[in-house]
Structure 1
Amino acid sequence: MSSRFGRRSFLRGAALAGAAGAIGALPATAEAERPMPVPEHVTFDVPGLDPAHDGLKVAQLSDLHVGPRTPPEVIRAAIEEANAFHPDLVVLTGDYLCHNPREVLAMQEQLGGLVAPTVAVLGNHDVWTDPDGAADALRGHGYEVLENAWTTVRLRGAPLPIVGVGDRLTKHEDVARAVRGLPPAAAPLVLAHAPRSADTLRGLGRPLLCLSGHTHGGQINLPIITPLFLHLVVHEPYVRGRYRVGDVSLYVNRGIGMSGIRTRINSPPEVTLATLRSVERRAA
């Protein structure tokens, strides 16, 4: 996104186009009335993955946006859905806040309860609003927060390296710093709020799996209208689902909450379960 208001302009424009009847009545309109999370299951072949992590289950939540536009029951349902996966690991890929520093209190009240080890990065709304408060709220729940850094989490008896990249839109992305000291043979899981961080990660020339969010999956998906705004206003080529960016496998989560308008069309909230598979073990 080229500016702080890029996505907001896109959503407003798409909503106006829809109101004008560009595509007529959509059956997905019900999402605006009951935007409950939808479970999504994806599997990734990860070169160099420790054999102990073959079949590792990673739950992803993104763009929770606590505040007036995201009902607490939706956030609660998302957390319960993530726990229901019985994951080995939970990752949070940014934008817990909307616009008001007082929303940090809502983070403290609503974002607890994830039972698996949890690692998080911040998003653009967190940086704009209160990055220190957001990070402290996450740590208060026992979640680790990465900012252009990496850590290891021991899962199934083996360490999994996890890289957290700073938010690209707010110019906090520093991939070189994030991977500094990472063993060359490591097969890390990368968390980056902005999908376009994959373009920078591609330059590392090593196989990576990157989980991101930010786009809300377009939030309002209208044929012709949405792609046009994405191209002309948002400048975002990675909107939802899976992409291949060089050696980087990228997954863009549709997110849970809403920070602008209160409507989702053809883009329901998402809780992802990513299953990691060892390429070498499957080939053996």
Structure 2
Amino acid sequence: MRTRIPAIILLWLIIDIYFFKAIQTLGLNQNIGLFYWLFDALLTGAIVISAFARSRRFISWLMALMLLSFVPKLVGSVILLLEDITRLFRGFPPRSYAVSEFVMMIAFAFFGILLFGITRGRHYYKVRRETLFFDNLPEKFDGFTITQLSDIHSGSFSDAKGVQKGLDLVNAQQSDVILFTGDLVNNQASEMDPWIPAFSKLKAPYGKYSVLGNHDYGDYIQWESKHDQQANLKRLKEVHGEIGFKLLLNEHTPIRKENEAISLIGVENWGKGGFHKYGDLDKATAEVPDEGFKILMSHDPSHWDAVTLGHRHPIHLTLSGHTHGAQFGFELFGFKWSPIKYIYKQWAGLYEKSGLYLYVNRGFGFLGLKGRIGMWPEIAVITLKRK
């Protein structure tokens, strides 16, 4: 992060200078220009100090302020650039007052969207539904419903009413089973302590199951000893039980309905690049019937392409999370975009290859940025149907 700060500040400065031309064109009061530059100078200084001091307490709020300042100007600057391209072919006449007015209106509109995401977006839960059809789904499971949660990140929560709103929405789906695909906490098991009573009230007639995510191992903070980190992980596993979830650690369990069953498989976190690869799909599927219908919970969606699709056991449905949809992006008319797409090939929603499906949950909670902008917190409901 610290190595990227000079490039980020340089880009920010270029956009600031360019957008300021719209303010100059409108002939606004000089005090507005003074405030414009003073605010950005103070914010830039605070970000640099917090990054080098590693102050996690303030950096997330500073990130939010940076987005509020940068993104509206970036969008407005794109319009100014288009105007300048036309001016190039017209002998560079003075800037249009009307275009600058339009730029300011667009910038204020984006500012409002960002402000909503930062202040209200973290608990603006969306229920997303998918119906999937399979040839080999057992007859008794035709119409079986799954509610998937992911990336709770309880260490980021501060609004009990907001969290309870989401939990009530989960129970309102009345799904047959609830599956949680990892990252219960940010780093420490104790982060979940205040939320155990609320999460323990989640209900599903065929059970609640979970796996671990990359943040659950406590790998991102310094511990006094390896023993302390191991004790934290042990406690976190106990917390899963206290909220009524059966934690699957490279293992499987059958879900039975009358005289038929499907196999639910859960692996520990397996991530590409520098992420630990604790997950062991071979171990988890060692005793799974070859011909049976299989659902896999695997926190990181990169596991699907790298391991799952080529595995000797065809996994009919994989459920993942991890990406959060970057907590920033947009989805309109079937088109979705987020900067996370340049890192993860599968990053939000449903994907299919040769009749095998992956669903990537956008996450229930939030981390880093204290909000969600366009990529709203998600409760996924998947209905299984026989073809």
Q: Please tell me the TM-score bracket, short chain as reference.
A: 0.7 to 0.9
Choose which of 149, 171, 175 in structure 1 pairs with 2:281. 175
Alpha-carbon displacement from aligned partner over 1:153-183 (angstroms, at most 9, x marks no partner): 2236532210002111321121111111110
Aligned 8 A contact 1:41 1:272 in 2: yes
Alignment of 1:14-53 (within 5 A): 16=66, 19-20=69-70, 21-23=73-75, 24=107, 25-26=109-110, 28-29=113-114, 30-34=116-120, 35-53=123-141
SS state at 1:152 partner: strand
Choose which of 280, 292, 300 in structure 2 pairs with 1:186. 292
Choose which of 164, 169, 189 in structure 2 pairs with 1:76. 164
Alpha-carbon displacement from aligned partner over 1:196-228 (angstroms, at most 9, x marks no partner): 1111110125251011111112211169xx755
For 1:22, give the aligned amino acid.
Answer: L
Aligned 8 A contact 1:94 1:121 in 2: yes
1:148 paired with 2:261, answer no
Identify the residue that residue 201 of structure 1 maps to in structure 2: 308
Summarize the Cα distance change of 1:173–1:14 in structure 2 as closer, same or farther, 3 Å threshold. Answer: farther
Aligned 8 A contact 2:197 2:243 in 1: no
Structure that is richer in helix per residue: 2
Alpha-carbon displacement from aligned partner over 1:76-120 (angstroms, at most 9, x marks no partner): 222211211111111011111013342131342432111111011
Choose which of 135, 146, 149 in structure 2 pairs with 1:58. 146
Aligned 8 A contact 1:208 1:247 in 2: yes
d(CA) in 1 for partners of 2:124 and 2:188? 24
Higher relative contact order (CA 8 A, sep 6+): 1
Aligned 8 A contact 2:146 2:175 in 1: yes
1:119 paired with 2:221, answer no
Alpha-carbon displacement from aligned partner over 1:118-168 (angstroms, at most 9, x marks no partner): 011111111126432222111123311101110012236532210002111
Looking at CA atoms only, which structure, 1 or 2, has the larger radius of gyration? 2
Mean CA deviation greater in 235-244 or 153-162: 153-162
Structure that is richer in strand per residue: 1
Could you tell me which runs of 5 or more consecutive residues in structure 2 were left unpaired when the two chains were aligned: 1-55, 76-106, 220-231, 332-336
Could you tell me which runs of 5 or more consecutive residues in structure 1 were left unpaired when the two chains were aligned: 1-7, 280-284
d(CA) in 2 for partners of 1:13 and 1:168? 28
What TM-score, normalized to structure 1?
0.84
Alpha-carbon displacement from aligned partner over 1:31-87 (angstroms, at most 9, x marks no partner): 322223111111111331101001101111111111244533333222211211111
Summarize the Cα distance change of 1:88–1:126 in structure 2 as closer, same or farther, 3 Å threshold. Answer: same
What TM-score, normalized to structure 2?
0.63
d(CA) in 1 for partners of 2:190 and 2:299? 22
SS state at 1:67 partner: helix
Mean CA deviation greater in 26-35 or 41-50: 26-35
Choose which of 269, 277, 282 in structure 1 pairs with 2:385. 277
SS state at 2:74 partner: coil
Aligned 8 A contact 1:69 1:262 in 2: no
Aligned 8 A contact 1:49 1:277 in 2: yes
Summarize the Cα distance change of 1:161–1:70 in structure 2 as closer, same or farther, 3 Å threshold. Answer: farther
Count residues in correspondence: 265
Q: CA RMSD for the aligned pairs? A: 2.6
For 1:123, give the aligned amino acid.
Answer: G
Choose which of 210, 214, 217 in structure 1 pairs with 2:325. 217
1:136 paired with 2:226, answer no
d(CA) in 1 for partners of 2:148 and 2:168? 12
Aligned 8 A contact 2:325 2:338 in 1: no
